Amino acid sequence: MGSVYLAEHPAIGKKVALKVLHAEFAANQDVVSRFFNEAKAVNDIQHPNIVDIVDYGVIATGAEPMVYFIMEFLAGVSLSDLIRREAPLAPERALSIALQVADALAASHAKGIIHRDLKPDNIMLIQRGRERDFVKLLDFGIAKLTGDNPGSRRTRTGIVMGTPAYMSPEQCEGRGNIDHRTDIYALGIVIYEMITGRVPFVGEGYGEVLVQHLTQAPAAPSTIRGLIPPHVEQVVMKALEKRPEGRYPNTEEMMRALADPVGYVEANGGLVGFQQAVLHVSNLPIGQPTTRLTPSPIAPLTPVPGTLASAQAPSHPGLQTPTTLGGSAGQMAPGTGGGKKVGIFIGIGVAVAAIAAAAVLLLGKSGGDGPKGGDEGSQIAANGSDDGSDDGSGAKPGTGATAGTGTTAGTADGTGATAGTGATAGTG
């Protein structure tokens, strides 16, 4: 439903990610509301492990308004790509990543915000100082605010929202009263995939996967891969309880259980690597408060020079990250040479010029220094064009990122389609 552009301030050279809602959806108030919901949710949480959104609004571009928001530029790789290349991950590395994600979720839940689409495609890993796996959580596009009107279209019972391989049983049933424990279930699956290299439930289509979430017990991770710390397996299995009441009551308690080193000592006879993983969260920097976002006023467009970088596909196939708006959009990566170019368009003729002009106008207002990307330079935390689709069934763990990862927006009875994000500019 949206395209993401790598934009650059023409004077100071600061790079940001400009996410623009496709024109055909700009007149749909429900879609626009969900689009802005991501910006508002992220700004309300203000956590160092959550991607920063610095501005949003609507600009008159003629016949159709341009609905946009601007995100920080992140250079790194998605967790889904790391899993594809290196899984199963070493326990201490998996736990370091999991604890950061859990910390971000805890902050989100404290604000009454449930992510609802947690998956490896929505977790970026960047280089931050000496940390190679600093987590940035993305894609709050289908996040649920606990204060939502139960009768609203965004929360009504019977609508299935999420990515099937990572959806909780209550999401699979299309319940309208899901809470933060649905994110705990999804985090359990993410940890499961990191330490085993596969998701617990695999099927021919998303309907089959939904049924397994509802009826089938997952295989214990240790039956797939040995040398898994016993307490980690216990945490994962508890997080994957079918009934929400059987899971951890909150993310903080899950974090404490993950940080219990006793089982790790028994399994591996050492604490050094695990201590590093556990201490990571306690040393996380406190995010600096930022000014609450308010929509930018509508401004007329005039042709002015600017930079909207179209991207090249990365040299590593499928460097993907997720998107918003009920789907997962890829992140754009700088061209590494040799990859084929991916053109990203919202229209032709005047529309292209309008976007370029808009980028300059928007970026001209945001001159402050933002978080800088990491050193790897292989991926950007912005969302690419999301015209592809993926049933999210997990038939091949971690695959499907090359064309984006899909987020199901179907009905609980198995009908409906998968809204995916496809055109890759170096993400998923």
Three-state SS letters, the chain? CEEEEEEECCCCCCEEEEEEECHHHCCCHHHHHHHHHHHHHHHHHCCCCECCEEEEEEEECCCCEEEEEEEECCEEEEHHHHHHHHCCCCHHHHHHHHHHHHHHHHHHHHCCEECCCCCHHHEEEEEECCEEEEEEECCCCCCEECCCCCCCCCCCCCEEEECHHHCCHHHHCCCCCCCCHHHHHHHHHHHHHHHHCCCCCCCCCHHHHHHHHHHCCCCCHHHCCCCCCHHHHHHHHHHCCCCHHHCCCCHHHHHHHHCCCHHHHHHHCCCHHHHHHHHHHHCCCCCCCCCCCCCECCCCCCCCCCEEECEECCCCCCCCCCCCCCCCCCCCCCCCCCCCEECCCCCCCHHHHHHHHHHHHHHHCCCCCCCCCCCCCCCECCCCCCCCCCCCCCCCCCCCCCCCCCEEEEECCCCEEEECCCCCCCCC
Same domain, 7 and 87: no
Same domain, 244 and 374: no
Same domain, 269 and 303: no
Going by their DSSP bridges, the two strands 341-342 and 311-312 should be labelled as antiparallel
Look at the chain and report how many structural domains it folds into. 2
Same domain, 191 and 64: no
Q: What is the CATH number of the domain that holds 370?
A: 3.30.200.20
In degrees, rounded to 5, the angle at the alpha carbon of residue 423 between the alpha carbons of residues 322 and 185 is: 20
Same domain, 142 and 97: yes
410 within some domain: no
423 within some domain: no
Same domain, 131 and 250: yes
Catalytic residue selected from 117, 121, 386, 391: 117
398 within some domain: no
Q: Which of 255, 282, 309 marks a domain boundary?
A: 282
407 within some domain: no
CA 290 to chain centre: 21
Q: Which of 261, 282, 303 marks a domain boundary?
A: 282
Q: What is the CATH number of the domain that holds 127?
A: 1.10.510.10
Q: Which of 282, 306, 339 marks a domain boundary?
A: 282
327 within some domain: yes
The domain of 248 spans 76-282
Catalytic status, residue 117: yes
Q: What is the pLDDT along the chain (428 residues), one digit of tens a residue?
A: 678 899 998 888 999 999 888 888 888 888 888 888 888 888 889 999 999 998 889 888 777 788 998 999 999 999 999 999 999 999 999 999 999 999 999 999 999 999 999 999 999 999 998 888 999 999 886 666 554 444 333 433 445 567 899 999 999 998 878 999 999 999 999 999 999 999 999 998 889 999 999 999 999 999 999 889 999 999 999 999 999 999 999 999 999 999 876 544 444 444 444 445 545 444 444 333 334 454 544 343 333 333 333 333 333 333 333 333 233 333 333 333 333 333 332 332 333 334 444 444 444 444 444 444 333 333 444 434 444 334 444 444 433 333 333 444 344 444 433 333 333 333 33
Same domain, 95 and 244: yes
417 within some domain: no
132 within some domain: yes
- Rounded to the nearest 10 degrees, what angle do helices 91-110 and 29-45 cross at? 110
Same domain, 303 and 276: no
Same domain, 97 and 60: no
Same domain, 218 and 270: yes
Same domain, 241 and 316: no
**Other beta carbons within 10 Å of 2:** 26
Cis (ω within 30 of 0) for the bond into 88?
Answer: yes
Same domain, 167 and 260: yes
121 within some domain: yes
